[in-house]
Amino acid sequence: MKSILKILKATFLGGILFLVPLVVLLIVLEKGYGLVQKTTLPLVSTLPKVSVLGLAIQELVGILIIILICFIAGLLAKTAAAEKLVQKLEDGILSFVPGYSFMKSMNENILGLESKDDLKVILVPTDAGLQFAFLIEQVSDEKFTVFIPDAPNPWSGSVVFVDKKDITEIDITQKQALACIRKLGYGSEELLKNKL
C-alpha cells in the first residue's frame, strides 16, 4: 500500500512540475496579449472592421506584435549583456528554486535548443538493473551526485550519490535520453547499440 501511495505521490508531483511552466507561459502570454491589445486599439480603430479567418484586425495586429516582441527578445537574449544578466539572476535568485537548472535544461532540450549546460547522461545500477541518470556534480574523488529520472515523466525522480566505479558512461545526448525515458524505453535498442 505504501508503494502505491509513493507512486501516486511521485506521479502527482511530477505532473505539477510539468504543468507549472506551461501555466506560467500561458498566463504571461495572456497578460502580454491583453497589454498589446490595449496599445493597438488606438492604432487599429481607424481601420475597417474586417475579420480574417474569424479574427478581427485588432487581434491579428496583436498576435503579430507579440510574435515580433518574442523575436526581438530572442535576438536580445543572444547578446553578452543579456546572457550576463540571466546568469546573475540564475546564480542569485533562481538557483534557490528547487530543480530549476534541471527543468531549464529539459525545457531547452524539449524545444530543441542547444544548451551548453546539457547534463552528462550515464547509467547507474539500481535494484532493478541499470537506469539512465544525469551526472549533476562531483562530490569527492570517488563520489558523484546523480539524478535518476522516473519514466515516463522525467520531471520527478531521485537524487543519489554514486561511487565512481558504478557509473557507466554512454555517449548519448540529454535530449536522446529524455525522449527514450518518455517513451518508456522504446528506441533503446538503437540508442544503446554497442554502448553496453
pLDDT exceeds cutoff 70 at 58: no
What are φ and ψ of residue 191, in 5° steps?
-65, -40
- For residue 187, what pLDDT is reported? 86
Q: What's the CA gap between 35 and 31, in Å, rounded?
A: 6
Which DSSP category does 140 fall into? Answer: S
The pLDDT of residue 156 is 77
More confident residue, 143 or 113: 143
Task: Give the largest Cα separation in the chain, rounded.
Answer: 72
Cα–Cα distance measured from residue 168 to residue 162, given in angstroms and rounded to the nearest whole number = 11
143 pLDDT band, cuts 50/70/90, is: very high
Rounded distance between C-alpha atoms, residue 65 and residue 34, angstroms: 12
Please write down the HEC assignment for all residues of 35-101. HHHHHHHHHHCCCCCCEECCEEHHHHHHHHHHHHHHHHHHHHHCCHHHHHHHHHHHHHCHHHCCCHH
What is the C-alpha to C-alpha distance for residues 179 and 57, in angstroms, rounded to an integer? 40
Are the C-beta atoms of residues 14 and 156 closer than 8 Å to each other?
yes
The pLDDT tens digits of the residues spanning 9-39 come to 767 766 666 666 677 777 877 887 777 777 7
Whether 90 shows a pLDDT value over 80: the answer reads no
In DSSP notation, 17-31 reads HHHHHHHHHHHHHHH
